[in-house]
Chains A and B, each alone.
Chain A
């Protein structure tokens, strides 16, 4: 029998996990014992973007008069509204891309939501679309002609917004290092070799085995960068439940080894078993009680994408750099301090108020002087905190490094 006890968590946290577990198993949730702080539960559900799920699990016995019922019901409305708006918009996008002969595929939530028992309740902030780099200009012109406003968040991610719908149009699935020196960007360029066509459409669908690898990699990326809530783990559970029998688990294990994410995937499997009482069809790592507790606490605290825990997650970026640098700590700290005092031309030109250096690298020293002056005058305390971070937050970085190692990262 699967162990599901979570001693040490608050009643709201225990009940929240019970709700998710019941949803995974398609069963009703029984009312919790009296005294549950519903505001706390609603905040937890909101931060994990699963309020709609909590609503449908609890609505049978939540009284109409209770404010939390109204709040959860409104978030249920919101989840359904955005889901249906996205669906209708994607239909129009598919027609337009097909007419223009632009191949594309959907990844993450937009694709995996169909595996959920109630697809409309798989929330997402945007729809991730993958195109070939060669089609970037044509896709951009087409979307702008349809009234979408474009924002380029980084060279490889272009966001398009119109009304309640937002697309992130990517020409690579992964842009950054996750663990070690594996070239994830190059690996996932091969995703186009793992797609199947859809009838009368330029849209193609990623094979579920490849999508699983991508979801694992994407989850690892978020955990290394900041944090992640429970939603990506629900994605893994529902994808495996829906398509597990036709997924090639031998190939997946082999590719996870190549991606250096085999141990991480096993940890995810072990945690999914503990959280949701389900077995994913792959080997699981043994989850020690103290790691289970710390990992669960972090998931609960982080909210979706670590947004609820930004202070702790600030350490994450430096820890990531430390792990990648593979230098003794004093050398790493010295290098980091120099980099922070004298940011590179590439970094400076991306900051709007130093953008005057763009195309004029010889102005970099002037930008540094301007920056020193500005920080001294307006943000001296913050500036000191950033510069002394390698000394003041060394312990937190070491702690985070250990936590990531336990995740297999």
Chain B
């Protein structure tokens, strides 16, 4: 599966806190601010590099020394919640 980040959504790390921020036009479609934990912030940084779930899982598995199968459920929950909040959309639905 492929995901695309909503244009204008930015992950900013300030004083150790990871904040997902809906700037410019994206503030009409998703919450202005969402705090992420370290793992979610890592997932997001990977998502900025690649839209492919498989590649995200591979990078996360390497980072956390787990198998891709172990990573996938948590990764999918993260992607689902981000999609529900409007920060990302599946690639088929162009933004």
Contact = CB atoms under 8 A, between A and B. Distances in A.
A76 B35 CA distance: 12
B52 to A, nearest CB: 26
B23 A85 contact: yes
Given A77-B33, A81-B32, A118 B14 contact: yes
A188 to B, nearest CB: 32
Contacts of B73: none
B24 A84 contact: no
Given A77-B33, A163-B27, A84 B21 contact: yes
Interface in B32-80: 32-33, 35
Interface residues of B, number: 14
B33 A81 contact: yes
A88 B15 contact: no
Main secondary structure of the interface of A (DSSP, over half): helix
Contacts, number: 39
B24 to A, nearest CB: 6
Contacts of A89: 23-24
Given A80-B21, A81-B32, A120 B27 contact: no
Classify chain A: how many residues form its interface, as a range: 10 to 19
A81 B21 contact: yes
Contacts of B21: 80-81, 84-85
Interface string A69-88: 00000001100110011001
B31 to A, nearest CB: 10
Contacts of B12: 80, 84, 120
A120 B14 contact: yes
Interface in A313-343: none
Contacts of B19: 77, 80-81
Contacts of A76: 14, 17
17 contacts: A56-B15, A76-B14, A80-B14, A80-B21, A80-B33, A84-B12, A84-B21, A84-B23, A85-B21, A88-B24, A89-B24, A92-B24, A118-B15, A120-B12, A163-B24, A163-B27, A164-B32
Q: List the 4 closest pairs (A to B, CB-CB), nearest first.
A: A88-B23, A85-B23, A56-B15, A77-B33
Given A80-B19, A89-B24, 15 more contacts: A56-B15, A77-B33, A80-B14, A80-B21, A81-B19, A81-B32, A84-B10, A84-B21, A84-B23, A85-B23, A85-B24, A89-B23, A92-B24, A163-B24, A164-B27
Interface of A: 56, 76-77, 80-81, 84-85, 88-89, 92, 118, 120-121, 163-164
